[in-house]
Amino acid sequence: MSAAPIEITGLAKRFGSVDAVADATFSAAPARVTGFLGPNGAGKSTTLRMLLGLIRPSEGTALILGKRYQEHRRPARLVGAVLDIAGAHPTTTARQHLRTYGALSGVSSKRVDEVLDETGTAEYADRRISTFSTGMRQRLSLATALLGDPEILVLDEPSNGLDPAGIVWLRTFLRAFAASGRTVLLSSHALGEVEQTADDMVLIDRGRVTRTGSLCELRSKGQSLEDVFLRATHEGAPLCN
Ligand SMILES: Nc1ncnc2c1ncn2[C@@H]1O[C@H](COP(=O)(O)OP(=O)(O)OP(=O)(O)O)[C@@H](O)[C@H]1O
C-alpha cells in the first residue's frame, strides 16, 4: 500500500513546561480537503511547523508520502505551504518576491505569471508588498505555495483577512485542487468556513487531537458540527465511538 500524503503519528512538542502538542495522530488523504480545527493556542501551527520540518518534534513522526519533509529531494515541488509571508522583503513587489522564490526551486517566470493569475494577484503584481492588505498578503502566500505545482498543500489559517468574496474564491480553489486528486491540509479556528470546505476533520484542543473523521461521521447522531466542536473542545467527551 502506498504511503498517505500526510501521516502524523504520536507527534508531540513541548516548549519548556507547555505541552503544545501531545500524542497527535491523524492523516490526510488524497483527493480530499482535511480541516484541522481548534481554538486559539490549540497546537495547530506547531503541528504544521513540525510537518514542514521547521521545528523538531519532541516525540513521534510527521511524514509526507512516507518521509520527513526534509528527506524529500525537492520538497518545495511536492508540498506548497502557506504559513505567513513574513519572510518577504517589504520593498519588493509581489512579482519580484515570486521570481525570487521560484528561482530557489527552479520554477520558470512563466509559472510565476500563472500563479499570479490563478490567485487573483496579477492586478497588484508590481506593487510593493509593504502596501498590501492582509487579504492581498494571503493571496500572495498562496501564490508562493503554488509555485512548484505541488501535490500537497499545507495551509495555516489561509482565510485570515480575506473578505467574503475572497473566502468563496479560496474555497472554490481548494475544492478544485482536491478534485484533481491532490491533498489539502487546512488549519483554522473558524468552524463555518472549514465546514464548507473540508471533507474530513481533525479537531485539536490544548495540544490533543480530540476527534477525527469525515464531516458526515462527525455530524452523525443528529449533532451539528458546532455541537461536536464545542463538546470536543470543552469536555473531551467521546461522541462517535
Ligand atoms: N516557540 C514557542 N515557545 C513557547 N511556547 C510556544 C511556542 N510556540 C507555540 N507555543 C505555545 O504552544 C501552544 C500552541 O500554540 P500554536 O501556535 O501551535 O497554536 P494554534 O492552534 O496555532 O493557535 P492560533 O489559532 O491562535 O494560531 C500555545 O500555548 C503557545 O503559546
- pLDDT tens digits for 90-139? 789 999 999 988 888 788 999 999 999 999 999 999 999 999 988 888 89
**Pocket flag, ligand 1, residue 233 (CB < 6 Å):** no
Predicted TM-score of the model (pTM): 0.89
ipTM (interface pTM) = 0.96
Nearest CA to ligand 1 atom 26: 40
Report CA torsion sign: 204, 54, 122, 114: negative
Torsion angle defined by CA atoms of residues 124, 126, 128 and 134, in that order, rounded to the nearest 10 degrees: 20
Nearest CA to ligand 1 atom 31: 41
**Pocket flag, ligand 1, residue 161 (CB < 6 Å):** no
Distance 157 CA to ligand 1 centre (A): 14
- pLDDT tens digits for 26-49? 999 999 999 999 999 999 999 999
